[in-house]
Every structure is written in C-alpha cells, then in structure tokens.
Structure 1
Amino acid sequence: MFDQGKSGKFDPGPSRRGGKKVPPAQPVSRQERMGFYADRLARALNLLATLSLRYGLTGLDAARSFAFSLSGQLLAMTFGFILIVEAVLVIPSLAAEQERWLDDTMRRAEIASQAIDTSVENTVSKQMSSQLLSSANVLYLAIEDGTRNYRLFDPNTVVPNQVMQLRRPRDNPIDDLRYLWAPWKTLMGSEDRLIHVQAPPTVRSGQMIQIVVKAEPLKQVLKSSLLNMLRVSLGISFAAGVLVFAALSGFIVRPIRRLTKVIQKFRSNPEDPELAATPSARRDEIGQIERELASMQEQVRNSLRSRARLAALGQAVSKINHDLRNMLTSARMASDRLSAVSDDPTVAKALPRLERALDRALSLATNVLTYGKSDEHAPLIQIVNLKDVSEAAAEDAGLALTQPSPETVRFILKASKGFHLEADPEQLHRLLVNLMRNARQAIELQPNRKSRGRITLTALKTADEVLLLVADNGPGIPEKIREKLFQPFTSSATPGGSGLGLAIARELAQIHGGDVRLAATGAGGTTFEIRMPLRG
C-alpha cells in the first residue's frame, strides 16, 4: 500500500510500460497543423455543399410546384395586371412631370424678361443678358410683343428647329402620343441635347415666348421622378397583389383544393358515405360545383350499389344455373317424347314454339341467365330476314299473328317484301322480344280498355343505318320513370317485372353499333326506335 499522506511533493518520474521508457511526445509542426485544419475545413465545406444542394433542390421543386399551381398562377397574374395598370399610370404622370418642369422654367423666363421692359430703350448689356438667362436657367429667350421683339441668347447656342408647343390644348391622338412620348425621348436623349419650347406668356404681356433649355437637368428630374414612381408603384403593387391574392385564395383556391381532396378521397373509396362532399351555402359557381359534386357522388354510390346487387344476383343465378339447365334439358326431352306420341293438331302446332323457347332458355342458361352477371358475346353477324325473326319474336312475346287468335294483342309488320338486315339473329330476336313483351304487358294492364291491343313493327333503311320502330297503342310511359327508363331494376311498371327488359334491349343494340331510344309516348301509345348500322 501507498501512504500518500506522508509523502511530500509527488514526482511521477519517467513513465514506464513493460519496463521500458516511453519517449516524450514530439511537438507538432506548423505544416501538420495546417494540413489538419485544411482537412477539417474541406469536410465542413463538403457537408455544407451537400446540405445546400439537397435543400436547394427541395426548395426548387417547391417553387416549381407553386409556380405551376393555381395559387402561383393567380399570384403571377395579379402582380402582372397591377404592374400593367401602374405602368399605364406612370406614363402620363411622367409626361405631366416634364410639362410641369418646362412650365416652371417658362415662368422664370417670363419674369426674367420683364427686366428688359424697365431698361433704357429696351436693351440690356451682355453681362445683364447672361445674368437673366442664368437666373431663368435657359440658353435662349425670345419674346414676341406685337411690333416689338426681344431676344436674349448665348452666341454659342444653336437653336433647334424642332419646337415643342406648351400651354396649348391637344386636339388629336397624334398630339396625345407626342405628349406621352416626350419624356421618354428626353430620358433616352444625349447629354448635350437642347429643347426648344414655345408658349403664350401668362406672367407678362405678349403674344409668344420661346426658350431653349438644356435637356440634362430635366433628364435628372425625370429619372428621379421615375424612380420614385416605380418605388411607390412596386410597393402598391406588392400590397395590392398580396391582398388580391389572399382574397382569391380564400374565395377560390382553398375551396377548389378542398374539392380536390374530396374527389381524391372519394376515388379511393367511393362507397364510403362519410367521404361525401358537404356543400356550403355559397350561391356562386363554387357553391354550384359543390352541390353538383355531392349529387354526382350520390349517383355514383347508387350506381355502385346497383352493380353490387347485380353481381350478387349473378352469383346467385350462377349457383342455380346447373340445376336450371338440367330442368330445361328434361323439359326438352319431354317435349320430344310428346311430339312423337301425340297426334293432336293443337299440340303439333304448339310444339315448335315450345321447342324454340326451350332451346333459347338452354342457351341463355349456358351463358349465365342474368343481365348483371355476364356480358353479351360479340354479335355473329348474318343476313337476317326480318319477317321470320319478327314473327318468331312476336310468338314468344305472346302476340297474335292472325286475326282469330286467343291472344289479346295483335302483331303487325310494316316492311317491304323480303326486307333483310345484317345482325345476330339470336340477339335481334331477344331485343324484339323484350320490347314486344313490355308493350304487351302494358296494354294488358291498362284498365277499362275497349279496343284490341296492337303492336306494329315498321322497318326502314337510310343511307347508313336500319331503323326499326316498335309502336303500340297502349297507355304510354309515366313521366316519372322516363329519365331512368333504360336503367336496370328501375323502369318496370309491371307487377312482378324485373326492370331488365329495356336495359337488355339497349345493350343488345349497342353491341351491334346501334342504340334504342324512346321516340314518342303519350296517351295514344309508345314508340321505341331501334337504330342498327347498315353493313356491306
């Protein structure tokens, strides 16, 4: 143990490590210190350059984004328009400043010229002439006073031929342009330029007074005035621009940004009712946009719900599709056996119609029997005889083809003999069946009907399309469902109807490149127009 309390002054002695003496540290040279500091400075500058580049690029991107944004464009346009207005105000103000300076100089010259009137024989010495010209700050002074003319001038002064008229009304646009251009001509003129001015006197008597002045003093005054005007104009422009921008930002930009965010959120999840736009009480265009957006969102949500129901219906139908197809196959086999064993003429007449219905039902079941589940296949275009396909569709729609028939609604075809068109026969058949069945059901449900129902198919050809008009003498379509006539599940007025007939008919026409529309409706009946492109 060490007893440091009894020891005197501590002397560590030479350091030891491993029993060997460690040499003392060598002093650092000036060159090494300079290298060390230079290395540290280079690292610091490198870090500063990296940070400057990073934040500089970030700031540049932010500035570019702001410049191309609606706020940046509004700010630029506001400053631009205000600067244009200020420039329009500066130009006449500068012209007025030059005219005021020349008018003051002219007044001083008039006052100085009155010394000639008090002189003996209206003459002054050369020294007095120089003093008068110097006091008026002019190089030449001439007075026309009836029969007497006076002149004070510097012999070295050359009077310019171009004379500027002062104190006279400007009667035409040319004079106005010269008046506005005069100060700019002075500002852009050389240092030794002289200005010859002529005006009627106002301080003294006489007809006319002329002076010649150096343009340089006026030029300095105009420069000073222009700088003051620009400084004030820029200040006013900045203040007005900020106020206008703040007003536009509050009334236009912010509502548009809010609407943009609502649209973006709505796009990500259109079925969420909490993301609906909340219209404000504004009655201007912004308020109208908000209300229209809210209405559009509600329509989109309703459409999505309708599509969801259709998808659910398609899934349900697809589950029973297999069983339904088996049932229809059994019914088809039963009809075949019935046709083989029965000699009844009524049965023989009805069996072809039953077989066609079963074949089409089997085909629809194979393609998934629902509008909401499956899309229609591309049409297989063939040359179709309208008489054959329309009468088959009329039979399937429950219409009478002849006069003595148990059906209550008669079918009439108005088309030229051998009328044909290019279409998919199966899809054209379904299109006509849907329209004819809807018309027949509307006629049969019409209360207190006295005349027999009638459905007429009229066929026409134009230069580039085929027109098929399906007209009935039913009660017409109620006005409240006309706007949604072709929307699925919304247009059925028949008890037990699905509301898919017109939607299917339009889809079948559109995949042919045509369309179905309501041509006319009223108390006398309804007419649907089918347009099909003329091919070949």
Structure 2
Amino acid sequence: MFLNTLSGRFLLLTMVFVMLAEVLIFVPSVARFREDYILSRLERAQIASLSLLAAGEMIDEAVERELLANAEVFNVVLRRDEIRQLVLSSPIPGPIEETYDLRHASAWELIRDAVHCIFDPRDRVIRVIGDPVKQAGLLIEATMSTGPLRQAMVDYGIRILGLSAAISVLTAALLFFAVRSLLVMPIKRVVESMCAYAEAPEDARRVIEPRSAVFELREAEQALQMMQKQLTQSLRQKERLAQLGGAVAKVSHDLRNMLSTAQLFADRMEESADPMVKRAAPKLVGSISRAVGLCETTLAFGKAEEPPPTLSRFSLAALVREVAEAEGLAANGALVEIVTDVAVDVSVRADREQLYRVLTNLVRNARQAIEATGKPGTIEIAIGEGADGWWVSVGDTGPGLPERAREHLFQPFQGGARKGGTGLGLTIAAELVRGHGGRLDLVRSDGTGTLFRLTVPRAKAAAPGLEAS
C-alpha cells in the first residue's frame, strides 16, 4: 500500500503539516478580515455622515436610507467637540446584543470575537465603535447586522482554505519528488545492493560502492561496504579453514597410526641396559603418548567434540616441574631461563594431561617469543591456592603480544602471536580450562612481557559427564 511506503508517509505528513500551518495562519487572517470589514463600514458611515453635515439641512428620508444601506449600517453616531450626535438613523430590527470597541482591541480579543461570529449562525444586531478617519471627530459608532458580516467571513474562509489546500498539495508534491530523488532512491539502491549481496556473499563484485551525495547516506554505504568486505573475507577464510580442517584430520589420523608404531619401539627401549637410554626412555614414551593424544584431540576438535576431563588428584608442583623440565630441554639455555615458584605444594583434582597441555602451550609460546627477539629472557611459573580454588601463572620478559593477537585472543587461526602462528594453542588451552569450570585470562601484555593466569575452582571442577579416577 502506498501509505505504508516512506514516500507515501512523507507525502501525507507534508500535507498535514502544511495544512496545520495554514490553519494557524487562517484564524488570525479571518480575525483581521472581520476587523477590516467593520472598519470599512465605519468609514462608509463616516463619509455618509459628513456628507449630511456638509449639506447643513434636512435631507429626504429616501436619501438617508440609501446612505445607510450603502454603509450597511442602521444608524451612525458621531462624537465631535465632546458632543454626541445621532447623524443618521433608521429602524433597528432587534435589540443590540453586543458592543465591540475596535479602538483598543487586542489580537486575542479580535480572534475570539471572529471565532464567535463565524460559529454563531444567528443574525444579530451589534454596536461597533471606532476612531474616525482623518481624525474627523473623537469617535464614531454604528449599529449593524452580523448576517452579512458572517457571510463575508465564510466566503473569505472558503477562499483561504481552498488556497491553503492548493499550496499544501503543490508543496507536498515538490517535497515528495525532491525527497524521493535525494533520499528514497538512494535508500532503495542500498536495499537492492544488500539483497544482491545476500544472494552470493562470497562474490566480491556484489560489494556496494558508495556513491550517494548525502553525507549520512554515504557514511551508511561506507559502513555497509566495510561490513560486506569483512564478511566476504571471513566466509572465504572459513571455507579455507574447513578444507584445512579436513586435511588436518586426515594427517592426524595417519600420524596417530605412525606414532602408535613408534610408541611400541619406545616401550622396548625401557628394557635397555644402557643407563642413559633407560633414563631418556620414559620421557620419550611420555612425549610420544602426548603426541598420540594430540592427534586424537585434533580429530575431536574437528568434530567440535573435546573430550571431558578425567579427574584425578595429583601434585600441581610436580606437574609444573615436569613442564619446566620438558620445555627447558627444548629451550636455548643461553637465552631462555625457566624459573618455578612452587615452594608450597598443592594437591589438585583435575585432568593431569589436559593441564599439562595447557601449561605446555603457555610456556612454549613464551619461550618462542623470547627466542624470536634474540635477547636473554626469563619465564616464571608460579602456583598458589586461594579461597575459591587453585591458580597457576605463567609470565615472561618477552616483547609482549602484538595488538592483533590481543584483539583476537583465544580465537583459532586469528590470535597467533608470531609470524606463521595459528593461535590454535591458546584456543585449545582456554577450552580445556573451561572444561574444568575455570578461566584462562591475560593479566597483562606490554613491552615488559606477558602474564597469563589460569584458575581452577574447587567444587566446580566436576562438570556433568566427568569421569573420576
């Protein structure tokens, strides 16, 4: 329906407001018309009176009636030199109901009297008082009928309303076409562009090109263009990630089989009589087992099925030392120093392997950040126990996370802190900590280094579906 469109409603509102403005002008103009009408009758009556006074003798009654009819009054009274004189007179058809003094009437009084006159259909007799023209006396009074006055006011009002309607229609039409050209058509173009883009958001050719000359609409088009570009890029990235996920799942499946074979050989190395081999064999077996577990976890991550934690009670200090020792072997000892603050041993109930992965990810990221600078640095791992649960902090003296990494922290394939990084490690770490009912937070990251803190609550560690051992 036309009135439900922006153009239709604007046209209707324009006509309504123009008519409202005309009404606000109509009432004072009708009041002014009434005042001019009465003053013109007083002026005619004054001319007729002065003509009679100039003759200086009695005039015929027919002439007197003609003078009064021409002035459209019943009688005329002049006050000159403090003398009130009835100059012209004729029979009055009824009693005088109202007296109106136009000499000192306010605008409100004139509007009130005009409204009363136009809405009162009776033909009444009224007395009007005014100042004589050219100061020909002190005042002039006349009695007149309201019938012709009211009819003249109605005719004038109809003409004014007709003119107002014509002006409102013309104004509304001009504004309608102007607004349609300047606003409605550009808005329709934006809507059409959005619909076309929605049909194929991957097609970069359907991204809107800002062309509007209106500043606000151009800002909207620019914002829409930026959003469409980001969405197109995001869709392309998600499509590539989906393809990459399928490839990673296949690689992880085959790699898991290879590592399972390597695990069998590593198990046999534990039976070697060589002390160095016997010492290194458990660590090798543990590393291969974690690699197998990582492949299985990668397959589960591709299905969005991260396994729930298997709870057991273990020493948090021993876990921190194991992570520090394993990463210390891989670190460049001349650059990176790993320090542990585990003076107080804490016994926690959680999934040991999952927390090992979380801490390994954090410490490895810190080690790689320090090694990338080529300057010596320190990694400090501290543990503690609070009223609500246990916490572990991992801090370093590296260069800090880049701004993009901080903005997309814990988002896969977007929060990588180093060139070529995927950010998947922090994503998995945060998800594993949430599986324990805890949190992984970035406490600070600036030029002096980075500090992460993971917190595992006490009672809330066991979520629905967890297995206890």
List aligned pairs for 1:210-359, cutoff 5 A.
210-280=141-211, 282=213, 284-341=215-272, 344=275, 348=279, 351=282, 357-359=287-289
Cα distance change, pair 292–366 in 1 and its aligned pair in 2 (3 A): same
Separation in 1 of the partners of 2:46 and 2:319?
109
Deviation at 1:287, TM superposition (A): 0.8
Alpha-carbon contact 2:77-2:142 (below 8 Å) kept:
yes
Cα distance change, pair 222–406 in 1 and its aligned pair in 2 (3 A): same
List aligned pairs for 1:76-225, cutoff 5 A.
76-115=12-51, 117-118=53-54, 130-151=65-86, 152=89, 154-161=91-98, 163-168=99-104, 170=106, 176-225=107-156
Residue 400 (structure 2) aligns with? 476
Q: What SS class does the counterpart of residue 160 from structure 1 fall into?
A: strand
Q: Report the residue type matching 1:286 in the other structure.
A: L
Separation in 2 of the partners of 1:389 and 1:102?
110
Q: What SS class does the counterpart of residue 210 from structure 1 fall into?
A: strand
Q: What SS class does the counterpart of residue 445 from structure 1 fall into?
A: helix
Q: What SS class does the counterpart of residue 322 from structure 1 fall into?
A: helix
Deviation at 1:286, TM superposition (A): 0.7
Separation in 1 of the partners of 2:392 and 2:59?
113
Separation in 1 of the partners of 2:448 and 2:13?
61
Q: Report the residue type matching 2:94 in the other structure.
A: T
1:522 corresponds to 2:446 = yes
Residue 398 (structure 1) aligns with? 327
Cα distance change, pair 204–247 in 1 and its aligned pair in 2 (3 A): same
List aligned pairs for 1:9-20, cutoff 5 A.
none
Cα distance change, pair 230–156 in 1 and its aligned pair in 2 (3 A): closer
Query: Which stretch of the first structure deviates more once superposed, 523-532 or 436-445?
Result: 523-532
1:410 corresponds to 2:338 = yes
Alpha-carbon contact 1:469-1:529 (below 8 Å) kept:
yes
1:453 corresponds to 2:382 = no
Q: What SS class does the counterpart of residue 221 from structure 1 fall into?
A: helix
Alpha-carbon contact 1:399-1:411 (below 8 Å) kept:
no
Cα distance change, pair 493–243 in 1 and its aligned pair in 2 (3 A): same
Computed over aligned residues only, the root mean square deviation of the Cα atoms, in angstroms, reads: 4.2
Alpha-carbon contact 1:109-1:211 (below 8 Å) kept:
yes
Deviation at 1:168, TM superposition (A): 3.4
Alpha-carbon contact 2:15-2:172 (below 8 Å) kept:
yes
Separation in 2 of the partners of 1:233 and 1:386?
91
Separation in 2 of the partners of 1:212 and 1:383?
113
Deviation at 1:299, TM superposition (A): 0.7
Alpha-carbon contact 2:309-2:435 (below 8 Å) kept:
no
Cα distance change, pair 300–117 in 1 and its aligned pair in 2 (3 A): same
Alpha-carbon contact 2:300-2:306 (below 8 Å) kept:
no
Separation in 1 of the partners of 2:312 and 2:48?
111
Deviation at 1:124, TM superposition (A): 7.9
Q: Report the residue type matching 2:336 in the other structure.
A: T
Q: TM-score, normalised by structure 2?
A: 0.79
Q: CA deviation digits over 1:477-496, x for unaligned, max 9?
A: 34466545555444435355
Cα distance change, pair 296–107 in 1 and its aligned pair in 2 (3 A): same
Separation in 1 of the partners of 2:387 and 2:28?
69
Separation in 2 of the partners of 1:76 and 1:446?
69
Deviation at 1:313, TM superposition (A): 0.8
Separation in 2 of the partners of 1:232 and 1:250?
27
Q: Report the residue type matching 1:526 in the other structure.
A: T
Deviation at 1:229, TM superposition (A): 1.7
Separation in 1 of the partners of 2:91 and 2:458?
99
Aligned residues: 455
List aligned pairs for 1:361-376, cutoff 5 A.
361-369=291-299, 373-376=302-305
Deviation at 1:277, TM superposition (A): 0.7
Q: CA deviation digits over 1:427-451, x for unaligned, max 9?
A: 665555434332221112113x24x
Which ranges of structure 2 fall in alignment gaps of 5 or more residues? Answer: 461-469
Q: Report the residue type matching 2:191 in the other structure.
A: T
Deviation at 1:312, TM superposition (A): 0.7
Q: What SS class does the counterpart of residue 398 from structure 1 fall into?
A: helix
Query: Which stretch of the first structure deviates more once superposed, 80-89 or 292-301?
Result: 80-89
Deviation at 1:266, TM superposition (A): 1.2
Alpha-carbon contact 1:130-1:154 (below 8 Å) kept:
no
Q: CA deviation digits over 1:51-79, x for unaligned, max 9?
A: xxxxxxxxxxxxx2x32222222222222
Identical-residue share of aligned pairs (%): 30
Query: Which stretch of the first structure deviates more once superposed, 126-135 or 197-206?
Result: 126-135
Alpha-carbon contact 1:314-1:370 (below 8 Å) kept:
no
Which ranges of structure 1 fall in alignment gaps of 5 or more residues? Answer: 1-63, 171-175
Separation in 1 of the partners of 2:8 and 2:325?
67
Q: Report the residue type matching 1:320 in the other structure.
A: V
Residue 416 (structure 2) aligns with? 492
Q: Report the residue type matching 1:250 in the other structure.
A: S
